[in-house]
Structure 1
Amino acid sequence: MPDAPAASLDVLRQRWGYSAFRPGQAEAIGAVCEGRDVLAVLPTGGGKSLVYQVPALVRPGVALVVSPLIALMRDQVDALHARGVRAAMAHGGLSRRDQEQLWTDAEFGRYQLIYLTPERLQTDLFQSRAPRLPVSLLAIDEAHCISEWGHDFRPAYRRIASARGLLTTASGERSPVVAVTATATPEVRRDIVAQLELQDPELVVRGFDRPNLVWSVLHAENKAQTVLDVFEGVPGPGLIYAGTRKATEQWARRLAAAGMSAEAYHAGLAPEARTNVQRRWIAGETRVIAATSAFGMGIDKADVRAVVHTALPPTVEAYYQEAGRAGRDGERAYCALVIGPRDEALPRAMAANSHPSPAQVQAVYEAAGSLAGLAIGSEPDGPTRVDPSRLATLASVPEPLARAALQHLAEQGAWSIRDARPDRVRVRVHQTAPALLAYAEMQKPPLARFITALLRTLPPEAFGDGADVRLEKLTRATELSEPRVLAGLDFLQQREIVSTTRGAGVDLVWAASRATSAPIDAAALARGQRRASRGLDHVVRYAQSVGCRRQHLLAYFGESAPSRCGRCDVCLGRHRPAAVTPEDESDLITILGAVERDEPRASWLPDTSPRRRNALADWLLAEGLLDLAEPLADVYALTPKGLKALRRRS
């Protein structure tokens, strides 16, 4: 494996203040600096971003970093600015003029890194400017998103490979590609290599094993008390992951009532509120955050002592990534999955509500056309704004399914989707600039001044398909309050001089006229449903396993481990009977006989509760009469000791 060049270590010391690379970083960085493709699978908190950030400061040109979330990009760009690194973001919130300027600046060496979403790679603007850029490397963050078998699958990632042919280095060579992720099974790793068309990549896989983490699954009748017990027994900062926004607020209230400082974090909070909650937790002012999965990506807090999941996560990858935010400082930390007898129902329902049927997609397509006032065969002359809640009502489908259907139709080319922003108003002028100026000259002075200020402020796109304009920019240019600016725009809209849209929802940019039938890929919808079901099945098997938790997790990610870690709830015997009595012997022999006949665990002792059955199986494993032959498949085998005990009774 290549070693990182001396220049990389100098950059690490000067910009980040570290004296050495972590395991896996040096090999990956060395390969990138040599111009090779790289797939790096490093643990959460293992410094994945340095795998592309350091080479970006060593190699000439600009590094393009594909990232799934604008918030994550913003955090990384801000952190790089604090270290004196020239970095920027390219996203749909920028005006056409600002995007043009960004790529011009990149061409002439102003930036060392530019972050962008995968959708940006497909825009006409990027594709026209890309051949002129000296691209030092193309980095794919959260690369598991490219695989249908990875969590957080995002179809736009699959189109990244088509952009690779446009990218060359300052010397005219092909730009290397580095893909990084924290959670990728062998199957997902193979898919990443294939989908990105990596050429002879350096594969660096390090550290799924986190020996300082103590893994537990706690089956609880009283979940609230169990969670309180965890945080009372484990001092220090903590995280609770809950399945819904409402649940995060309930958990925060419960902990606060017990005397712990706790706050809720979810996407329903205002951006400023989320930022303040996060800031207080990182600063140690709040001990525990109760959050949805919206929290955590890109968060750097090393001293989290406990991460508690109160709902089954959708995949093992998601669970490992979220739980892995504990103990990044290397000290002992605890990861607990607390589940009740009916907890499987919620994630099953959420999975079902994120994968619509073809009929539901068709209903959403028809509803979107109706809301836009489009007849069959007609095409709007600009974007149409859709409120997903209203759309769901009209289509008679749950709102999550309506949103998923909108996204599926975008993937199939019916339209592209742009998020509407409350701090912006979309303006489309129906006249030319000279005609609008002539109209202003005939108006009273206040209206004339307003129109003239608009002409100075609106970007050229406003006179075409329309443009999103910051309200703050309009209030400053017109010297009017926000309500008066909106009233002025409404006045012009009533006279059909402009069209404006503002508020919640999304803008649909139709690619073609409305058709009778929506473009639907039924096979892709079915695959998505199977993928979600399969992911949850793995989580359920982990939760119900009577084998070592650490062994189970490492086996899932393709790594071997001893059959007993000695530290998880199973190895510590927390689910085992307090004592096995002579009355239990018949049931123990029955289990051994069922294993010899290859019967699944669910069929052992059918008249016995699952908890007692699992407890007896755990005792047999601990005593060396059974062996967990295949942890992921829940397959058991008799040991010689177990076979001898069975033969002795028969």
Structure 2
Amino acid sequence: MTNLHAILKQYWGYDTFRPVQEEAMRSVLEGRDTLVLLPTGGGKSLCFQVPTLAREGVCIVVTPLIALMKDQVEQLKKRHIPAAAIHAGMNRHEIDITLDNCIHGNLRFLYVSPERLRTDIMIERAKQMNISLLAIDEAHCISAWGYDFRPAYLLIAEFRTLLPGVPVIALTASATAEVQADILDKLEMKQGRVFRQSFARENLSYSTFPEENKERKLLQILTNVPGTSIVYVRTRKRTQQIAEWLTRQGIRADYYHAGVPYRDRTEKQMAWQRGQTRVVVATNAFGMGIDKADVRSVVHLDLPASLEAYYQEAGRAGRDGRKAYAVALYNHKDTDDLSQAVERKYPPIQTLRRVYQALANYFKLAVGAGEFTSYSLDIHEFTGTFGLQVSETHYALKLLEEEGFLQLSEAFNDSSKLHFLVDNRQLYDFQIRYPDYDPFIKLILRMYGGELFTEYLRISEGEIGRAYYAPLPEVMQKLQFLQERDIIDYEKQRDKPQLTFLTPRFDAELLTLNVFDIEKKKERDLRKVAAVVHYAQHPSQCRTLLLLDYFNEHDGRPCGVCDNCLKRQKAENVHDQTEELTQRVVVHLHNNGPTAPRSLSDAFDHMPEKQLLQVVRKLIEQETIQYDAQGKLVLNATRLS
């Protein structure tokens, strides 16, 4: 049998697998369709990466987020494992080269969005590839019962018909029984094997607190729990406000959201991973694919919209197995806001048609045209042009995206990219004809290497300028010159979101919207909000058991470390102490006879006076003791006889 442990040790440096991982890998190597459910940080990616390296061929990885694709590709490259991604920000030539490298090169992993599977170029090239495995990451997205349904995931079953005999592995960190069944059905996983690790996290202490002054409570948490932390909030503006407030309190904090320029986001993330920043205040854009095991606390200042999302985000704490804390703070306004947010997410159907028609007019697209064309979209200019509300338009675009008509990339502030269109011989001829450009070209090759001839690489015009001792405009002018002579393909950094039409343009009034399904999804979202509120406000049940019950795991045990478990333990301890104190007071009065209250207090001065007073009152109410004529406490002989 293939030595999976040797591969694990060679590329990742680990000696042993975590629970479930090896069993899932063996299933894949046996050619079985496999569904893997592992908690956040449980090592899902290894379940398809290791078996791919155990045999020849390419693994196609379907994942919904560009940021997650890029992160995993970079992680693989750092381990000297050839990998690439295809996403909406790439031009056709760039895609062409990447797919060719899958056929003729040594690429082992190709990451794609689900929308990409239906393109002609992907279908034709896939037929020429030696594909050994199809991996579906974030597999809950295929289920309409899930919390992040993506209609494009339904294309995967059709794509599978191109890959006879190739097994499928589907992976997710959170899926209810309904979602699991839906994944197996929609991916046509005949006799698929399911491997599941318990969703319980023994080292993670969950707590929720009703709080009006959340900032004060946050500061208290960060003071009591040293180490790295993530603080989640709902809005971009709030990330900056809270980060600046924490900085004023003497805590090294920074903010992160999808609107921050790509390079700045990378720097913020790296500073946090290196420990230069202690706390990142972020929207839910932060965390997917983040490889940091020593996060000691995750605090939600705003409740998320589902327990699936909360479990994934909270689960980023304590991935090293050491004690960690997941804390959610809420007030009554928060719980009301969650329901209102769901209502805003689903604007009227006619609004969707109006926004779609406005897009077609804005980009001058004729009916039947525009499939897989991308445009820069300035949302404020667009809404201003057509008299649309920004917030309502945002949610309309999201719904149109979910319905599979378009894709809006938040990762728009990506670096510039460069690729040489000529071979070494042709480049040498150019350098002879244009000697002034010879040192500039040599510098670029020294900085970025020969991979420029085989793929597109991200570049920094600023770094080139500093190395070449030239101002930025001069660098960009030289790159433009090379582009105009077909020596390079130079894609400048974009500064606006990229909107991609995934289908030919429809007549807006004939747009095939699934009105019934949209309404059903809204109802499901409201039920998920109710589950979050139930979790946050439950006064007694173990938090871990509440989560396990939601994920249909009914054989768990109380964690003993959440706020409710600790309250129960404290109450039981107080009860035990009270019972013991009660017996001792009765014995004392029996042995010493009538006793003045002050003398009784002196006799039990090692006990809290408040607790002693409560015991005495209870004994009087029960008529076990009473006051005599001198105001002293005595046993009630009638009750004791």
- What is the aligned-residue RMSD (CA, Å)? 3.8
Superposed CA offset, 1:340-364 (max 9, x none): 2211233333323322221111221
Q: Which residue number corresponds to residue 590 of structure 2?
A: none
Alpha carbons 2:8, 2:15 under 8 Å: kept: yes
Alpha carbons 1:409, 1:519 under 8 Å: kept: no
Q: Which has the higher contact order (CA 8 A, sep 6+)?
A: 2
Q: Give the whole-Å Cα distance in 2 for the aligned partners of 1:513 and 1:188.
A: 32
Structure 1 pair 397–551 and aligned structure 2 pair: CA distance change class (3 A): farther
CA displacement at 1:59 relative to structure 2: 2.2
Superposed CA offset, 1:74-108 (max 9, x none): 22112212222121222233332332232222223
SS at match of 1:260: coil
Q: Give the whole-Å Cα distance in 1 for the aligned partners of 2:108 and 2:272.
A: 32
Q: Which residue number corresponds to residue 67 of structure 1?
A: 63
Q: Give the whole-Å Cα distance in 1 for the aligned partners of 2:404 and 2:275.
A: 47
SS at match of 1:571: helix
Residue 103 of structure 1 aligns with an amino acid whose one-letter code is L
Residue 74 of structure 2, aligned match among 57, 73, 78? 78
CA displacement at 1:158 relative to structure 2: 1.7
CA displacement at 1:164 relative to structure 2: 0.4
Q: Give the whole-Å Cα distance in 2 for the aligned partners of 1:397 and 1:506.
A: 19
Residue 566 of structure 2 aligns with an amino acid whose one-letter code is L
CA displacement at 1:527 relative to structure 2: 2.4
Structure 1 pair 221–41 and aligned structure 2 pair: CA distance change class (3 A): same
SS at match of 2:111: strand
Residue 153 of structure 2, aligned match among 138, 154, 157? 157
Alpha carbons 2:228, 2:296 under 8 Å: kept: yes
Q: Which residue number corresponds to residue 186 of structure 1?
A: 177
Matched, 1:125 2:118: no
Q: Which runs of 5+ in 1 are unaligned?
A: 169-173, 427-468, 489-499, 581-650
Alpha carbons 1:42, 1:182 under 8 Å: kept: yes
Residue 552 of structure 1 aligns with an amino acid whose one-letter code is L
Alpha carbons 1:308, 1:335 under 8 Å: kept: yes
Q: Which residue number corresponds to residue 524 of structure 2?
A: 531
Residue 16 of structure 1 aligns with an amino acid whose one-letter code is W
Residue 201 of structure 1, aligned match among 192, 195, 203? 192
Alpha carbons 1:240, 1:308 under 8 Å: kept: yes
Structure 1 pair 306–411 and aligned structure 2 pair: CA distance change class (3 A): closer
Superposed CA offset, 1:57-77 (max 9, x none): 012211111112222222211
Superposed CA offset, 1:515-573 (max 9, x none): 55443321232123223212211101111112111110111111125564322111222
Q: Which residue number corresponds to residue 306 of structure 1?
A: 297
Superposed CA offset, 1:21-57 (max 9, x none): 1100011000001111000001111111000000110
Residue 46 of structure 1, aligned match among 42, 62, 87? 42
Matched, 1:557 2:551: yes
Residue 570 of structure 1 aligns with an amino acid whose one-letter code is N
Matched, 1:541 2:537: no
Q: Which residue number corresponds to residue 605 of structure 1?
A: none
CA displacement at 1:409 relative to structure 2: 4.0
CA displacement at 1:285 relative to structure 2: 1.3
SS at match of 2:327: strand
Structure 1 pair 487–341 and aligned structure 2 pair: CA distance change class (3 A): same
Q: Give the whole-Å Cα distance in 1 for the aligned partners of 2:519 and 2:116.
A: 28
Alpha carbons 1:420, 1:504 under 8 Å: kept: no
Residue 44 of structure 2 aligns with an amino acid whose one-letter code is K
Matched, 1:504 2:500: no
Alpha carbons 1:356, 1:525 under 8 Å: kept: no
Q: Which residue number corresponds to residue 586 of structure 1?
A: none
Residue 292 of structure 2 aligns with an amino acid whose one-letter code is K
Q: Which residue number corresponds to residue 568 of structure 1?
A: 562
SS at match of 1:290: strand
TM-score (normalizing by structure 2): 0.73
Q: What does residue range 102-251 of structure 1 map to in structure 2 within 5 Å?
A: 102-168=98-164, 174-251=165-242
CA displacement at 1:120 relative to structure 2: 1.3
Superposed CA offset, 1:168-216 (max 9, x none): 4xxxxx1100001111111111111111111111100103110111111
Structure 1 pair 342–420 and aligned structure 2 pair: CA distance change class (3 A): closer
Structure 1 pair 503–335 and aligned structure 2 pair: CA distance change class (3 A): closer
Q: Which residue number corresponds to residue 22 of structure 1?
A: 18
Alpha carbons 2:21, 2:46 under 8 Å: kept: yes
SS at match of 1:240: strand
Superposed CA offset, 1:431-481 (max 9, x none): xxxxxxxxxxxxxxxxxxxxxxxxxxxxxxxxxxxxxx99979x99xx975
SS at match of 1:120: helix
Q: Which residue number corresponds to residue 521 of structure 1?
A: 514
Residue 565 of structure 1 aligns with an amino acid whose one-letter code is C
Q: Which residue number corresponds to residue 453 of structure 1?
A: none
Q: Which residue number corresponds to residue 286 of structure 1?
A: 277
Q: How many residues align?
A: 522
Q: Give the whole-Å Cα distance in 2 for the aligned partners of 1:138 and 1:379.
A: 31
Q: Give the whole-Å Cα distance in 2 for the aligned partners of 1:132 and 1:84.
A: 25
TM-score (normalizing by structure 1): 0.73
Q: Percent identity?
A: 40
Alpha carbons 1:354, 1:400 under 8 Å: kept: no
Superposed CA offset, 1:307-327 (max 9, x none): 110111011010010001111
Residue 567 of structure 2 aligns with an amino acid whose one-letter code is G
Structure 1 pair 292–15 and aligned structure 2 pair: CA distance change class (3 A): same
Residue 534 of structure 2 aligns with an amino acid whose one-letter code is R
SS at match of 1:570: helix
SS at match of 2:209: strand
Q: Give the whole-Å Cα distance in 2 for the aligned partners of 1:262 and 1:178.
A: 39
Q: Give the whole-Å Cα distance in 1 for the aligned partners of 2:243 and 2:508.
A: 48
Larger radius of gyration: 2
Alpha carbons 2:262, 2:411 under 8 Å: kept: no
Q: What does residue range 140-539 of structure 1 map to in structure 2 within 5 Å?
A: 140-168=136-164, 174-373=165-364, 386-393=377-384, 397-409=388-400, 421=412, 481=474, 504-507=496-499, 509=501, 511-512=504-505, 514=507, 516-539=509-532
Q: Give the whole-Å Cα distance in 2 for the aligned partners of 1:564 and 1:383.
A: 51
SS at match of 1:353: helix
Alpha carbons 2:34, 2:169 under 8 Å: kept: yes
Q: Give the whole-Å Cα distance in 2 for the aligned partners of 1:483 and 1:423.
A: 16
Q: Give the whole-Å Cα distance in 2 for the aligned partners of 1:54 and 1:378.
A: 44
Q: Which runs of 5+ in 2 are unaligned?
A: 418-457, 482-491, 576-641
Superposed CA offset, 1:205-232 (max 9, x none): 1031101111111111211111111111
Structure 1 pair 49–549 and aligned structure 2 pair: CA distance change class (3 A): same
Q: Which residue number corresponds to residue 646 of structure 1?
A: none
CA displacement at 1:423 relative to structure 2: 6.9
